[in-house]
Amino acid sequence: MSKKAAAKTAPKKAVKTAAKAGSNSKSLMTESRVFKPSAEFSKKARISSMAQYKKMHEESIKHPDKFFGREAKELQWTKPFTKVLDWKCPNAKWFIGGKLNVSENCLDRHLDGPRKTKAALIWEGEPGEKRVLTYQQLHREVCRFANVLKRNKVKKGDRVIIYMPMIPEAAIAMLACTRIGAMHSVIFGGFSAESIKDRVIDCGAKIIITADGGYRRGAVVPLKKNVDDALKANDTPVETVIVYRRTEQDVHIEEGRDVWWHREMEYVDARCAPVAMDSEAPLFILYTSGSTGKPKGILHSTAGYLLHAQMTCKYVFDLRDDDVYWCTADIGWVTGHTYMVYGPLALGATSLMFEGAPNWPENDRFWKVIEEYAVTVFYTAPTAIRAFMKWGDEWLTKHDLSSLRLLGTVGEPINPEAWMWYHNKVGGGRCPIVDTWWQTETGGHMITPIPGATPTTPGTATLPFFGVDAAIVDDLGKEVGVNEQGKLVIRKPWPSMLRGIWGDKARYQEAYWSEFQGWYFAGDGARRDKKGNFWIIGRIDDVLNVAGHRLGTAEVESALVSHPAVAEAAVVGRPDEMKGQGVVCFVTVKEGIKSGRELGEELKRHVRKVIGPVATPDEVRFAAALPKTRSGKIMRRLLKQIAAGELIKGDTTTLEDINVIAQLAAGGED
């Protein structure tokens, strides 16, 4: 589509203030731009109309046995299931009596046809190395490493810690665990030695797979040293550490405990039969933060998780055999599990894997990768998109991004300004955007557009995926009205739902099923517009109470970023004697913009105009950057402490740049 044609079809209405700006429950901001799927995209899509989506969704809710029984037949079963679902809240069992193997579904079943020689993984390292593993080659490496695990006494049901850089061997290790029936627990490479130790002890892992180091912005992350520090006191169950040679730096090798990956691979062959696993057999544990400070070991099982991963890649990303698909998430997070490894490989797609940061060595690294590999489907986080906006369009316009046909976002609500930039600048006005809401606990997409069917509006994740019965309720469990804010709940079980918290059944019940009897409470706030679209406001903890008015921080952030000077913003509350909570905004401006008191006052007026008087910020602080983890998540708990004038408490080891905290605590930029 030409730029002139795109301009003609682009809606002109933007963000506006709702009529009832004084209400304490109505959403204060609306968005009226709507983008319908192009006829060309819909024609080729698996789901090509809203009528088709609605029919399928209705069947998935009213007749889940029929719907998911049919979908599950696309998996390769060692033993067929006899019953689709057994549900006794909060415990779900899916595909009862069935047996399958995840690695067999991701690899072996693709070897009998043309996918055998198709690229399964494309990898680019931060320094620039490139590798391609076909399905046949990946199968061989997974089988060999599965035999390495068996050689090191790993058996069915054992827990294996994976603490690796973003290299193909991380995915190989995951798939090798699934091949022999061991549970893996991947730890993000930015976590500290203490975090590793806590997770090792909690899940009782007896083996760790790591590397000498990994690359990050030209520096080496000392992964092996962190493992050594975690095991220093010799008070964990770990018996073996397998070390992959990545950076070639000198590392300590503990005699009798540590072994080299490459040497172990010399002793094994490339034949390893997949172990048939029960549908409900535990697949992996992935730790997520908890309100008590102790990480929660989220447990996912085999068949239901794999089916949901495959289905969402099929319907949400509409992945095809000729796609080059790139999910930019780290493998240490659930997005990397579901949408870099298991979902794409189960569907037989080509998945791109990248080690490094989007601005190393320069700000156009992502655009170079897209151009070089002709990426067709691109899935990244709103935080990254806002960073791209801040760096400027010139980094993007140097590259040919015409291969892209679909864009996606994940991780947090995307503000309309970033959505529009993503649509116009990255997608050239032609690519549908799937704004996906889900969690570590849900295993896969829960609320998301279907790209060939769903009309999209900037800022909303739109409608529930198949099998997802979502609602927004008040504190008593009653559904709220149109555009009223409430708590987002899921009222029926879905295949990829978490099966518990490792070793803590009581905490599982308390954390997810105690707020509303029989319903899963996501912990997020949301509203629903008159078209039925879900607007995720953010964590309930991030909803402010300003003079009796409930105010979603995401709405204030969206208003700030809609100002032409602002690249990124984070909003938190601080105690206020008069209002209960005051609104504090942390703002990063675009390149070439001068920050200061004058701009701060202008931004206050802008928020007041866009949302209403109740949302007027009490304070605007400027900084060159916001405190983020290496995965791009803004650490709002630290901002809350800064806003309240408190000392910084809690773990800060995952911060991308610790100096950001010092600058913000000192008052930010002048």
Instruction: Examine residue 223 and state whether it is found in any structural domain, yes or no.
Output: yes
Burial 407-443 (b: 16+ CB within 10 A, else e): bbbbbbbbbbbbbbbbbbbbbebbbbbbbbbbbbbbb
Tell me the pLDDT band of 547, cut-offs 50, 70 and 90. low
With a cut of 90, say whether residue 620 has pLDDT above it: yes
Instruction: Examine residue 423 and state whether it is found in any structural domain, yes or no.
Output: no
With a cut of 70, say whether residue 270 has pLDDT above it: yes
SS3 454: coil
**What pLDDT was estimated at residue 643?**
84
Q: Is residue 268 packed enough to be buried (19+ CB in 10 Å), middle (13-18) or exposed (0-12)? A: middle
Instruction: Examine residue 660 and state whether it is found in any structural domain, yes or no.
Output: yes
Residue-averaged pLDDT of the chain: 90
pLDDT in tens, 89-103: 999 999 999 999 999
What 8-state DSSP symbol labels residue 428?
T
Question: Which of 282, 315, 344 represents a domain boundary (last residue)?
Answer: 282
**Is residue 525 within 8 Å of 412, Cβ to Cβ?**
no
Structure tokens at 160: 């294996």
With a cut of 80, say whether residue 289 has pLDDT above it: no
What dihedral angle (degrees, nearest 10) is formed by the CA atoms of 310, 163, 625, 573? 70
Q: Write out the residue range of the structural domain in which residue 201 sits.
A: 135-282
User: Rg (Cα) of the chain, in Å, rounded?
Assistant: 24
**What pLDDT was estimated at residue 421?**
97
**What pLDDT was estimated at residue 1?**
41
**Total domains in the fold of the chain:** 2
Tell me the pLDDT band of 245, cut-offs 50, 70 and 90. very high
With a cut of 90, say whether residue 566 has pLDDT above it: yes
Instruction: Examine residue 9 and state whether it is found in any structural domain, yes or no.
Output: no
**What pLDDT was estimated at residue 23?**
35
**Is residue 316 within 8 Å of 445, Cβ to Cβ?**
yes
CATH number of the domain bearing residue 227: 3.40.50.980
pTM for the full predicted model: 0.84
pLDDT in tens, 325-334: 999 999 999 9
With a cut of 70, say whether residue 24 has pLDDT above it: no
What dihedral angle (degrees, nearest 10) is formed by the CA atoms of 574, 575, 577, 580? 90
What 8-state DSSP symbol labels residue 480?
P
Q: How far apart are CA 173 and CA 132, in angstroms?
A: 17
User: Which of 558 and 377 is assigned the larger pLDDT?
Assistant: 377
Cis amide bond preceding 361, omega within 30: yes
Tell me the pLDDT band of 610, cut-offs 50, 70 and 90. confident
Q: How far apart are CA 428 and CA 403, in angstroms?
A: 11
**What pLDDT was estimated at residue 328?**
96
pLDDT in tens, 191-243: 888 889 989 999 999 999 999 999 988 999 999 999 999 999 989 999 999 99
Low-confidence winner among 10-24, 208-222, 514-528, 633-647 (lowest mean pLDDT): 10-24
With a cut of 70, say whether residue 630 has pLDDT above it: no
**What pLDDT was estimated at residue 415?**
87
Identity of the amino acid at 147: N
SS3 596: coil
Structure tokens at 447: 């609320």
**What pLDDT was estimated at residue 21?**
30
**Is residue 211 within 8 Å of 244, Cβ to Cβ?**
yes
With a cut of 70, say whether residue 470 has pLDDT above it: yes
Q: How far apart are CA 75 and CA 103, in angstroms?
A: 12
Question: Which of 282, 304, 335 represents a domain boundary (last residue)?
Answer: 282
Q: How far apart are CA 576 and CA 551, in angstroms?
A: 15
Q: How far apart are CA 335 and CA 375, in angstroms?
A: 18
The residues, any chain, with a CB within 8 Å of residue 70's CB and separated by 6 or more, are none
pLDDT in tens, 49-78: 999 999 999 999 999 999 999 999 999 999
Identity of the amino acid at 629: T
**Is residue 455 within 8 Å of 37, Cβ to Cβ?**
yes
Q: Whole-angstrom distance between the N-terminal and C-terminal Cα of the chain?
A: 44
With a cut of 60, say whether residue 288 has pLDDT above it: yes
At residue 283, what are phi and psi to the nearest 5 degrees?
-105, -50
Question: Which of 254, 282, 310 represents a domain boundary (last residue)?
Answer: 282
**What pLDDT was estimated at residue 47?**
98
**What pLDDT was estimated at residue 556?**
87
**Winning range, highest mean pLDDT, from 111-120, 622-631, 633-642:** 111-120
**Winning range, highest mean pLDDT, from 22-31, 170-179, 509-518, 615-624:** 170-179
**What pLDDT was estimated at residue 654?**
59
Instruction: Examine residue 434 and state whether it is found in any structural domain, yes or no.
Output: no
> How many angstroms separate the Cα of 387 from the Cα of each of 169, 329, 399, 592, 628?
29, 15, 17, 14, 12
Tell me the pLDDT band of 383, cut-offs 50, 70 and 90. confident
Handedness of CA 80, 84, 88, 91 (dihedral sign): positive
Low-confidence winner among 213-227, 422-436, 567-581 (lowest mean pLDDT): 567-581
With a cut of 90, say whether residue 19 has pLDDT above it: no
Burial 338-358 (b: 16+ CB within 10 A, else e): bbbbbbbbbbbbbbbbbbbbb
**Is residue 74 within 8 Å of 310, Cβ to Cβ?**
yes
Structure tokens at 303: 């068949």
pLDDT in tens, 158-200: 999 999 999 999 999 999 999 999 999 999 888 888 889 989 9
Instruction: Examine residue 164 and state whether it is found in any structural domain, yes or no.
Output: yes
**Is residue 409 within 8 Å of 447, Cβ to Cβ?**
no
Q: How far apart are CA 376 and CA 380, in angstroms?
A: 13
**What pLDDT was estimated at residue 491?**
98
Instruction: Examine residue 25 and state whether it is found in any structural domain, yes or no.
Output: no
CATH number of the domain bearing residue 597: 3.30.300.30
Handedness of CA 318, 443, 140, 246 (dihedral sign): positive
**What pLDDT was estimated at residue 407?**
98
Instruction: Examine residue 154 and state whether it is found in any structural domain, yes or no.
Output: yes
Identity of the amino acid at 290: G
